[in-house]
C-alpha cells in the first residue's frame, strides 16, 4: 500500500486534526464540603490531597510576602475570600452557612468574642462577625461553578507540571533534530532571496493605472458621476499586463526552491526521478511559505524589497478571484502565527518530502524523512512554546499544509488556464514544473 504523508492524512479531514488533540481532564470530588474547618486530627491526612483546592476559592492569594490576619477571628489569613481577607476556616464556615441557609442563635447576649481559640463556641456571633467585616453572600459561587473553577485550575496546574516534566525529559532537541534544523536554516538563508536583492534582468512591473470615477464615466450624458471623489484601478484593454513580470518572479522563486532542496543531503541522496517529482509537487507550496515571511498584515501585500505585490497584481496576471481570495486568507492566517524561522523551514521540508506526490518511486524512504521532519517540528514546538499554545500549534500547522496542498492544485489549474489563453505566458522552467 502506498504510504500516506501526514499532510495528506490531514487533507482527508483537516478538522479531525485539530479536534483530535487530547485534553487531560481531572474530576475532583466534593469531599471538601463534607468536612468542617474544626475537623480533628483524623482528617489531617487528607490535607495534602486537597491542598491545591484551597487556593482555588481565594480571590487573591498574593499577600506580598507579608503575614496577614483574618478579619473575623485573627488567625493567619491565606487570601481574600468573599471580599474580605480571612483564614481558610472562616471562609469555609461562611460559605457553608450561607449556601445551606443555616441560622444560629446565641445562648448569651450576642457579644461573644470571636478569636482563633474561641471561634467555635458561638456560631451565631461568628457568622454575624463575618457579615460585619464585609463578607458578601452574593460572591459565593454555586457548587457547580466552584467545581468547574477547581477543575480548570487543576488542569492548568497539571499542564504546567507536564510542561516542566517534558522539558526535563527532553532537556533540548536531540542532536539529530538539531542537525536537521541547522541544515534547513543554512539552506534557506543561503538560497532564498525574498527581498529580491539579487533579482536582476527581469521585466519591470507595470505601474498601476488609477483614474477618477468621473473620468472613467465621462461618456455618461447625464454627468451623474462628475463629483465623485472615489478612485479605482482600471484594467487596461490589452489584459494580462502583469504576466511577463509575474513569469520572471515565479522563475526566480523556482530557481531558489531548487537550490534550497539540492542543499539538503537527504534530498540529494534520492533518485533523480524522485527529486524531480518532489520539486514539481512542492515548489509552489514552498514558495508560498517562504513569501509569507514578507507578508504585511496591515496592507495585505508582499513587500519584497523594492517590489510590492498584492492579489490585485495577480488578478492582472490572469488569476481568478475564487483562487486569490483563499490564498490571501491562507497568508493572513499563517502570518498571524508568528512562527520561528526554524518552524518555517521545517514546514518547507515537510512539503518537500511528501511521499504521495505523483511519480514518486521510493515511497518508504521519503515517508521516513517526512515522519522524522514532522517529529522534529513537534519536538521544537513542545520545547519552545508554552502550553496550551504548543498543544494546538502543531495541529494547526498540519491543517495549513493540507490547505496549501489544495491551493497548489488550484494554482496549477489557473496556470494551465492562462497558458491556454496565451501560449507564451510561462517560461520554460515554469512549464517544466507544471508538466
- DSSP calls for 194-224: TT-TT--SPPPPPPPPEEEHHHHTTT-TT-T
Give the pLDDT score at 284.
92
Q: What is the pLDDT of residue 16?
A: 37
320 falls within a domain: yes
pLDDT band of residue 321 (cuts 50, 70, 90) is confident
- Are residues 129 and 186 located together in one domain of the fold? no
Which of the listed residues 238, 257, 289 is the one where a domain comes to its end?
238
**Enclosing H/E stretch for 144:** helix 143-170
Report the alpha-carbon distance of residue 213 to residue 332 in Å, rounded: 31
Q: What is the residue-averaged pLDDT of the chain?
A: 76
Condensed to tens digits (0 to 9), the pLDDT of residues 301-317 reads: 888 877 788 888 888 77
**3-state SS, residue 90:** helix
Tens of pLDDT, residue by residue over 264-278, are 999 999 999 999 999
Instruction: Examine residue 305 and state whether it is found in any structural domain, yes or no.
Output: yes
Domain housing 291 = 9-16+173-206+241-434
Which of the listed residues 86, 116, 140 is the one where a domain comes to its end? 140
Q: Domain check: are 252 and 398 in the same one?
A: yes
- Say whether both 177 and 126 belong to one domain: no
Residue of 270, 292, 273 whose CA lies nearest to 370 = 270
Task: State whether 194 and 111 are in the same domain.
Answer: no
Number of domains in the chain: 3
Q: Answer yes or no: do 317 and 195 share one domain.
A: yes
Q: Cell 496549501 maps to which residue?
A: 404
Report the share of the chain in percent with pLDDT over 90.
40
Per-residue pLDDT for 104 more than 90?
yes
Are residues 178 and 318 part of one domain? yes
- Provide the pLDDT for residue 213: 32
Considering the domain boundaries, does residue 367 fall inside one?
yes
pLDDT band at residue 249 using 50, 70 and 90 as cut-offs: confident
The pLDDT value given to residue 4: 54
Mean pLDDT on 122-150? 91
- Which whole number is the average pLDDT over 247-262? 89
Whether residue 111 is contained in a domain is answered as: yes
* CATH number of the domain residue 45 falls in: 3.30.50.10
- Return the pLDDT at 349: 95
- pLDDT confidence of residue 250: 84
Q: Which residues of 49-72 are buried (b: 16+ CB within 10 A; e: fewer)?
A: eeeebbebbbeeeeeeeeeeebbb
Span of 154-158, 358-362, 389-393 with lowest mean pLDDT: 389-393
pLDDT for the residue 316: 77
Whether residues 257 and 305 share a domain: the answer is: yes
| Measured distance CA(376)–CA(266) in Å, rounded | 15
Say how far residue 143 (Cα) sits from the centre of its chain. 34
Closest C-alpha to 162, from 33, 23, 273: 23
pLDDT of 84 over the 90 cut: yes
d(CA 146, CA 137): 14
Secondary structure of 339-350 in HEC code, one letter for each residue: CCHHHHHHHHHH
Q: Is residue 419 part of a domain?
A: yes
For cell 490531514, the residue is 10
What CATH number is associated with residue 422?
1.10.565.10
CB of 387 within 8 A of CB of 160?
Answer: yes
CA dist 166 and 383 (Å) reads 8
Cα distances from 177 to residues 174, 259, 282, 330, 379, in angstroms, run: 5, 22, 22, 28, 9
Percent of the residues in the chain that have a pLDDT greater than 70, as a whole number: 71
The predicted pLDDT at position 65 comes to: 56
Of 219, 238, 257, the position where a domain reaches its end is: 238
Q: What is the pLDDT of residue 404?
A: 93
In the predicted model, is pLDDT for residue 248 greater than 90?
Answer: no
17-69 pLDDT tens trace = 333 332 333 333 333 333 333 333 333 333 333 333 333 344 444 445 567 89
Let me know whether 191 and 220 are in one domain: no
Backbone φ and ψ of 159, nearest 5°:
-65, -40
| From 12-16, 257-261, 421-425, the region with the lowest mean pLDDT | 12-16
Q: Which helix (DSSP H) or strand (DSSP E) does residue 411 occupy?
A: helix 389-421
Residue with cell 536582476: 200
Q: How far apart are the first and last CA of the chain?
A: 26
pLDDT above 50 (res 137): yes
Has residue 317 been placed in a domain? yes
What CA–CA distance (Å, rounded) separates 129 from 89?
A: 14
pLDDT at position 245 is 72
Q: Are residues 252 and 212 in the same domain?
A: no
- Do 321 and 424 lie in one domain? The reply is yes
Torsion of CA 130, 136, 142, 145, to 10 degrees: -110
Give the CA radius of gyration of the chain: 33
Dist. CA 204–CA 121, nearest whole Å: 92
Q: Pull the grid cell for residue 43.
A: 482528617
Beta bridge partners of 301: 296
Q: What does DSSP say about strands 79-81 and 231-233: parallel, antiparallel, or unpaired?
A: unpaired
Higher pLDDT, residue 242 or 99: 99
> Average pLDDT, stretch 382-402?
84
Task: Determine, yes or no, domain membership for 48.
Answer: yes
Of 116-130, 187-201, 394-408, the one with minimum mean pLDDT is 187-201
Q: 392 and 266, same structural domain?
A: yes
C-alpha dist (Å) from residue 366 to 7, 73, 162, 343: 13, 71, 33, 20
280-293 pLDDT, tens digit per residue, is 999 999 999 998 98
Q: Is residue 127 part of a domain?
A: yes
In this structure, of 338-347, 369-378, 391-400, the range with the lowest mean pLDDT score is: 391-400
Per-residue pLDDT reduced to its tens digit, 174-232: 889 999 999 999 999 998 887 777 776 666 655 544 333 334 334 343 434 343 333 34
Same domain for 360 and 418, yes or no, is: yes
- Measure the CA–CA gap between 200 and 197, rounded to whole angstroms: 8
Amino acid at each position: 500500500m502506498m504510504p500516506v504523508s501526514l499532510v495528506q492524512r490531514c487533507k482527508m479531514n483537516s478538522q479531525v486534526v485539530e479536534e483530535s488533540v487530547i485534553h487531560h481532564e481531572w474530576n475532583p470530588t466534593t469531599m471538601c464540603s463534607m468536612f468542617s474547618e474544626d475537623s480533628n486530627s483524623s482528617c489531617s491526612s487528607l490535607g495534602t490531597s486537597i491542598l491545591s483546592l484551597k487556593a482555588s476559592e481565594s480571590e487573591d492569594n498574593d499577600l506580598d510576602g507579608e503575614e496577614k490576619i483574618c478579619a473575623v477571628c485573627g488567625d493567619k489569613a491565606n487570601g481574600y475570600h468573599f471580599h474580605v481577607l480571612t483564614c481558610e476556616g472562616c471562609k469555609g464556615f461562611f460559605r457553608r452557612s450561607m449556601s445551606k441557609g443555616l441560622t444560629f442563635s446565641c445562648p448569651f447576649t450576642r457579644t461573644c468574642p470571636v478569636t482563633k481559640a474561641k471561634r467555635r463556641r458561638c456560631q451565631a456571633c461568628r457568622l454575624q462577625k463575618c457579615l460585619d467585616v464585609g463578607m458578601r453572600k452574593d460572591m459565593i459561587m454555586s457548587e457547580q461553578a466552584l467545581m468547574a473553577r477547581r477543575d480548570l485550575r487543576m488542569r492548568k496546574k497539571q499542564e504546567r507540571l507536564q510542561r516542566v516534566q517534558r522539558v526535563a525529559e527532553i532537556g533540548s532537541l536531540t542532536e539529530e533534530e538539531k542537525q536537521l534544523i541547522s541544515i534547513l536554516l543554512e539552506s534557506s538563508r543561503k538560497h532564498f532571496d525574498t527581498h529580491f536583492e539579487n533579482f536582476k534582468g527581469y521585466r519591470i512591473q507595470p505601474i498601476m493605472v488609477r483614474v477618477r470615477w468621473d473620468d472613467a464615466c465621462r461618456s455618461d450624458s447625464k454627468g451623474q458621476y462628475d463629483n465623485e471623489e472615489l478612485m479605482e484601478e482600471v484594467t487596461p484593454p490589452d489584459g494580462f499586463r502583469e504576466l511577463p513580470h509575474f513569469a520572471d518572479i515565479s522563475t526566480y522563486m523556482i530557481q531558489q526552491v531548487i537550490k534550497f532542496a539540492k542543499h539538503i543531503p537527504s534530498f540529494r541522496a534520492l533518485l533523480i526521478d524522485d527529486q524531480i517529482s518532489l520539486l514539481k509537487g512542492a515548489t509552489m507550496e514552498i514558495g508560498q511559505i517562504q513569501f509569507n515571511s514578507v507578508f504585511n498584515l496591515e496592507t495585505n501585500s508582499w513587500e519584497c524589497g523594492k517590489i510590492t505585490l498584492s492579489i490585485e497584481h495577480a488578478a492582472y496576471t490572469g488569476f481568478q478571484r475564487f483562487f486569490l481570495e483563499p490564498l490571501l486568507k491562507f497568508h493572513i492566517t499563517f502570518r498571524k502565527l508568528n512562527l520561528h524561522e526554524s518552524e518555517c523551514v521545517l514546514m518547507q521540508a515537510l512539503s518537500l518530502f511528501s511521499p504521495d506526490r505523483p511519480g514518486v518511486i521510493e515511497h518508504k524512504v521519503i515517508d521516513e524523512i517526512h515522519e522524522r521532519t514532522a517529529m522534529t517540528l513537534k519536538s521544537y514546538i513542545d520545547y519552545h512554546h508554552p502550553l496550551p499554545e504548543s498543544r494546538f500549534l502543531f495541529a494547526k500547522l498540519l491543517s495549513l499544509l493540507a490547505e496549501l496542498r489544495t491551493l497548489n492544485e488550484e494554482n496549477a489549474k489557473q496556470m494551465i488556464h492562462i497558458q491556454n489563453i496565451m501560449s507564451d505566458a510561462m517560461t520554460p522552467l515554469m512549464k517544466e514544473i507544471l508538466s
